[in-house]
Amino acid sequence: MRYRTLGDLKVSAVGLGAMPLSIEGRPDEERARATVRAALDAGVTLFDTADSYHLSGAEPGHNELLLARALAGAGSEVLVATKGGRGRPADGSWTVNGDPRHLKRAAEDSLRRLDVEAIGLYQLHKPDPAVPLEESVGALRELLDEGKIRLAGLSNTDADQIRAAHRILGDRLVSVQNRYSPEVRDSEPELRLCAELGLAFLPWSPLGGISRSSLDGPSGLAAAGRFAAFHEIAAERGVSPQQVGLAWLLAKSPAVIPIPGASRPETIRDSARAAELVLSEAESARLKPLG
């Protein structure tokens, strides 16, 4: 496993997005915990969760509680990053609540569920258009000052919001978690800004566009569409297209730390191996038109 910088910490170059372990279609507890153990065995030290990763309207904090059980005794090098400011009511929607009082209560609840002295990385899950960003980020600053969280981050945010939060938090703002993948690259400006400010950029859903795990002859290649080069290089290297996709992301910038989701041990093992996959100049040139 290779490592990258997040704040003043070194974390695995590939993390685990734990959301699939708790939402609809989730595995049973045994397989979920086996997936987390497989990640640890593969050298993964960054685990991403949120208080809203649970079934709609049921079991708030399920993912945090699951990770707390699965990571018990894992060691101080493991960093759990959680988020607050979103909800999942029974109607299946995703709500947003950036009220400072809500965020502080949510962080205290997460702290209790994770059973830690301080949350390693706490992120505003999404800016609330009904609440001035300065007030939401102010809650993160208070949590930092109180020692309830060690580092702070933002998610689902734009460049102006990152700059505003950086003015408030300074070097205690360490990360931005936005959607970014071969298919969805709207956050190019945010990625460049993170590299400029020294922030880690954590792509969520990083494998968008690479849905097939292997090529099944010419028909499989055709199905891969404009992302066929990922599959071609994977076949040549004897690895999965997902590994090539993650290696492509890692090559974009030293700031990038992808957090692919997984609900099976073999999936996270495969993703973790991408940290060791270095694309050649010729391979990168074949993928360059995509990014």
Q: Which residues are catalytic?
A: 53
Q: Mark out the alpha helices in the chain (DSSP H runs).
A: 29-41, 62-70, 100-114, 133-145, 159-169, 188-197, 217-224, 228-237, 241-252, 265-273, 281-287
Lookup result for tokens 């690259």: 185
What residues form DSSP beta bridges with 59? Answer: none
- DSSP class of residue 261 equals B
State the angle between helix axes of 159-169 and 133-145 in degrees (0 to 180), rounded to the nearest 10: 40
Q: Are 82 and 112 in contact (CB under 8 A)?
A: no
Which stretch of DSSP H or E encloses residue 173?
strand 173-177
Cα–Cα dist 34/21, whole Å: 11
Pairing of strands 95-96, 86-87: antiparallel
